């Protein structure tokens, strides 16, 4: 038995990513009414995709699920056993593959396992040029129930964590569980990190998002997710800076900690807004611009393989660095580094043997 106990716990929808490069991208996307760069839940009209893409000779299977990717990202920086992941899977080969990848990368899987015929969720990743369109069928992932959190080994893992990470995607079905975890973690002084995950979360799950937000210390999102929130919240055409500042100032249950809002913009600079800058290294300082801009190191176009998972690995890098007690500036830089390593690989994966961060 490892003597390491998890200090980061991540919660989300465990998925296996089925990735295919499509030669005639626009035509394929149009057939299913997909955008080149988006993440959606599959409707009935999308279901044939899963049978179709497995016949593509270029198909690859990679561990996925946004928060599970971030867990592996954080684990890249920490001793094995420092990160645990919670989600719901089927009793099948897909789940076995995901468990094996987690174990190999030091992540402790605390899955709720649903009996057959429930199947582990899958995400079709349609790659065209440098874009990726994600179509997810959640299957067992959306059968997660709150009682899993009360199981002694899960409760003990949650109680021991310093940082809790929740993907916004989980709010499509698991708001009750997310609220329970976040409320308790926030009340006991742990850091709660939430990722907006995709534009459709602020767009269609704004109520759930705003229920959870008071218990969130660090909110992460990209520019389209921030814009989707602004639109849903009636902020008109507010700038990204204004959106980040508004979200940072949203009511907070643990007033003794600031809220940080981190907005990534792909290859462009990352913005961080703080509700209350202070001398703490894990916050913006009162002498920093607020929001502060962090440039993203450039990656040569010929090094870009696939952007899928880059945002998750950014979040993982940030989590891992914070778990190591690094400053906010270093945590953002670490996030950029992991995001960049991921962009140079197929799927939400990093480079092995590990590169020095």
- Give the residues lining the site for ligand 26A (CB under 6 A): 12-13, 15, 17, 39, 41, 64-66, 69, 123, 134, 136, 138, 167, 169, 172, 308-309, 311-312, 348
Q: Which is nearer to ligand 26A, 50 or 285 (CB)?
A: 50
Q: Which helix (H) or strand (E) holds 241?
A: helix 240-248
Q: Cis omega (within 30 of 0) on the bond before 291?
A: yes
Q: How far is the CB of 306 from ligand 26A (least distance, A)?
A: 10
DSSP letter string, 175-227: HHHHHHHHHHHHHTT-EEEEE--STHHHHH-HHHHHHHGGG-SEEEEEHHHHH
Structure tokens at 40: 């959606």
Q: Could you tell me if 195 and 221 are in contact, meaning their C-beta atoms sit under 8 angstroms apart?
A: yes
Q: Which is nearer to ligand 26A, 17 or 217 (CB)?
A: 17
Q: Could you tell me if 200 and 35 are in contact, meaning their C-beta atoms sit under 8 angstroms apart?
A: no
Q: How far is the CB of 144 from ligand 26A (least distance, A)?
A: 11
Q: Which is nearer to ligand 26A, 102 or 274 (CB)?
A: 102
Q: Which entry of 17, 92, 217, 312 is annotated as an active-site residue?
A: 312
The Cα 138–Cα 125 span in angstroms is 14
Q: How far is the CB of 54 from ligand 26A (least distance, A)?
A: 16
Residue number closest to ligand 26A, CB atom = 64
Does the CA dihedral 317-314-338-292 come out positive or negative?
negative
Q: How far is the CB of 39 from ligand 26A (least distance, A)?
A: 5
- Which residues, in sequence order, are CB contacts of 163 under 8 Å at separation 6+? 7, 8, 9, 190, 191, 193, 319, 322, 323
Structure tokens at 37: 């760069």
Q: Could you tell me if 174 and 53 are in contact, meaning their C-beta atoms sit under 8 angstroms apart?
A: no
Q: Which is nearer to ligand 26A, 69 or 191 (CB)?
A: 69
Residue 312 a catalytic site member? yes
Place of tokens 């561990």: 63
Q: Which is nearer to ligand 26A, 123 or 248 (CB)?
A: 123
Q: How far is the CB of 311 from ligand 26A (least distance, A)?
A: 6
Q: Which helix (H) or strand (E) holds 83?
A: strand 83-90
Q: Which is nearer to ligand 26A, 73 or 258 (CB)?
A: 73
- Among candidates 84, 71, 64, which has minimal Cα distance to 14? 64
Q: How far is the CB of 170 from ligand 26A (least distance, A)?
A: 7
- Among candidates 338, 339, 340, which has minimal Cα distance to 76? 338
Q: Tell me the catalytic residues.
A: 312
């Amino acid at each position: 038995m490892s003597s390491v106990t998890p200090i980061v716990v991540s919660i989300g929808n465990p998925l296996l990513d089925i990735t295919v490069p499509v030669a005639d991208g626009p035509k394929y996307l149009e057939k299913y009414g997909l955008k080149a760069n988006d993440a959606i839940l599959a409707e009935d009209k999308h279901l044939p995709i899963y049978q179709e893409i497995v016949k593509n000779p270029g198909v690859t299977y990679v561990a996925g699920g946004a928060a599970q990717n971030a867990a592996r990202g954080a684990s890249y920086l920490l001793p094995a056993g420092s990160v645990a992941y919670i989600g719901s899977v089927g009793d099948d080969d897909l789940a076995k593959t995901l468990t094996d990848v987690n174990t190999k990368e030091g992540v402790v899987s605390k899955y709720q396992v649903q009996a057959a015929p429930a199947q582990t969720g899958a995400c079709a990743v349609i790659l065209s040029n440098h874009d990726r369109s994600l179509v997810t069928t959640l299957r067992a992932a959306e059968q997660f129930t709150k009682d899993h959190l009360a199981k002694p080994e899960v409760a003990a893992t949650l109680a021991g964590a310093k940082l809790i990470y929740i993907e916004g995607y989980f709010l499509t079905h698991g708001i009750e569980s997310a609220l329970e975890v976040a409320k308790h973690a926030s009340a006991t002084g742990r850091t709660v990190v939430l990722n907006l995950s995709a534009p459709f979360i602020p767009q269609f799950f704004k109520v759930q998002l705003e229920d959870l937000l008071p218990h969130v210390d660090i909110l992460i999102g990209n520019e389209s997710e921030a814009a989707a929130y602004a639109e849903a919240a009636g902020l008109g055409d507010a700038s990204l800076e204004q959106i980040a500042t508004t979200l940072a100032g949203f009511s907070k249950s643990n007033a003794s900690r600031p809220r940080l809002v981190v907005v990534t913009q792909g290859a462009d600079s990352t913005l961080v807004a703080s509700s209350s800058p202070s001398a703490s290294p894990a916050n913006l300082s009162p002498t920093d611009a607020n929001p502060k801009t962090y440039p993203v190191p450039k990656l040569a176009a010929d090094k870009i393989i696939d952007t899928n998972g880059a945002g998750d690995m950014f979040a993982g890098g940030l989590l891992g660095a914070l778990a190591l007690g690094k400053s906010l500036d270093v945590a953002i830089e670490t996030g950029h580094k992991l995001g960049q390593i991921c962009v140079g690989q197929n799927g939400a994966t990093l480079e092995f043997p590990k590169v020095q961060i």
